[in-house]
């Protein structure tokens, strides 16, 4: 019973996700919202605002600092969970 | 299980390669501001050098350099460095992770404060990624029993 319910829910939410891709802008469309004002803003002003020549690094660690902080904590969680699940030692 | 490889070629090459790999990981981290690279990549390369020690010698040799307790400390230390760098601007009425306010604590102008704030944050990422990769490798390869496997080998039991 719960298996059928699970399959139904997965199908429903999967169909919802596939349905939502119809509204995506086409691949590499120069007129999509992110390419119109977000990317040019970072590319033009990253040197004068952060002094970092590499735009990828400045976006990763400065403009999108929250994202990288929680990426790091995801890695932290993965490491701790593997230790908790697998390690069978009294003395480390 | 994990056996000691008794190969002089592998051991000699590993001895030459390990310092080069560790230096290269620092280069990838420091040069991340200019070229592709940064904390995640540098941390993985640094962990690879410890994994090479574990493969060419054994896990005990790697743990002589970086013990399990120290490694566990590093896992938390990296996230702490990142979060603390983000918290410091809050004391001078800035936003969380707004590194330009670090200029009030360091002799830097706001632009360079952001530059070095990013460097600090990447250092935290590098430490966490390195420690987690080493810990994952050691736990997965020995099924979480590195100490008892090493002890068994000393007593002549081969698994």
Using 50 as the pLDDT threshold, list the residues of chain B that sit under it: 1
Residue A56 has pLDDT above 80, yes or no: yes
Q: Is residue B63 part of a domain?
A: yes
| Mean pLDDT along residues A9-34 | 88
Q: What pLDDT shows up at residue B1?
A: 47
Between residues B154 and A82, the one the model is more confident about? A82
Give the pLDDT of residue B156. 67
The mean pLDDT of A22-45, rounded to a whole number, is 84
CB within 8 Å: B140 and A86: yes
Is the whole-model pTM more than 0.95? no
Is B143 a domain residue? yes
**A65-78 per-position pLDDT tens digit:** 999 999 999 999 99
Report the residue from B34, B75, B96 with minimal CB separation from A76. Answer: B75
Q: What is the mean pLDDT of chain A?
A: 89
Cα B91 to Cα A27: distance, rounded to the nearest angstrom: 44
Rounded Cα gap, residues B18 and B23, in angstroms: 9
Question: Residue B149: its pLDDT value, please?
Answer: 75
What is the complex's ipTM, to 2 decimals? 0.84
The pLDDT of residue B26: 93
Q: Is position B136 within any domain?
A: yes
Residue B139 lies in a domain: yes
CA distance B148 to chain A (A): 8
Question: Who's near A83: CB < 8 A, 6+ residues apart?
Answer: B72, B135, B139, B144
Domain ranges for chain A: 2-86
Residue B3 forms part of a structural domain: no
Range of the domain at B122: 8-154
Our count of domains for chain B comes to 1
Task: Write down the pLDDT at residue A92.
Answer: 62
Q: Is residue B147 less than 8 Å (CB to CB) from chain A? A: yes
**Terminal C-alpha separation, chain A:** 45
Compute the count of residue pairs across chains A and B with CB atoms less than 8 Å apart. Answer: 110
Q: Give residue A91's pLDDT band: very low, low, confident or very high (50, 70, 90).
A: low
Q: CA B84 to CA B147: how far, in whole Å? A: 34
Residue B144: C-alpha distances to residues B62, B123, B131, B135, B138 (Å): 15, 28, 15, 10, 7
């Amino acid at each position: 019973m719960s298996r059928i319910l699970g399959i139904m829910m997965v199908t429903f939410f999967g169909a919802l996700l596939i349905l939502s891709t119809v509204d995506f802008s086409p691949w590499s469309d120069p007129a999509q919202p992110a390419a119109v004002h977000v990317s040019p803003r970072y590319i033009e002003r990253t040197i004068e605002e952060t002094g970092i020549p590499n735009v990828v690094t400045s976006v990763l660690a400065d403009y999108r600092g929250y994202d990288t902080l929680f990426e790091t904590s995801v890695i932290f969680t993965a490491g701790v969970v593997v230790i908790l699940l697998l390690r069978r030692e009294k003395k480390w | 299980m994990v056996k000691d490889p008794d190969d002089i070629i592998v051991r000699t090459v590993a001895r030459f390669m390990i310092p080069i790999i560790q230096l290269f990981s620092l280069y990838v981290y420091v040069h991340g501001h200019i070229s592709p690279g940064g904390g995640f990549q540098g941390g993985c390369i640094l962990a690879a050098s410890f994994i090479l020690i574990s493969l060419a010698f054994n896990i005990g040799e790697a743990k002589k350099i970086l013990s399990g307790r120290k490694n566990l400390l590093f896992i938390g230390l990296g996230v702490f460095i990142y979060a603390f760098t983000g918290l410091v601007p809050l004391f001078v009425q800035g936003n969380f992770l707004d590194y330009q306010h670090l200029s009030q604590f360091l002799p830097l102008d706001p632009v360079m404060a952001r530059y070095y704030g990013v460097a600090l944050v990447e250092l935290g990422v590098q430490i966490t990624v390195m420690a987690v990769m080493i810990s994952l490798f050691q736990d997965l390869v020995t099924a979480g029993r590195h100490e008892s496997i090493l002890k068994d080998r000393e007593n002549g039991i081969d698994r």
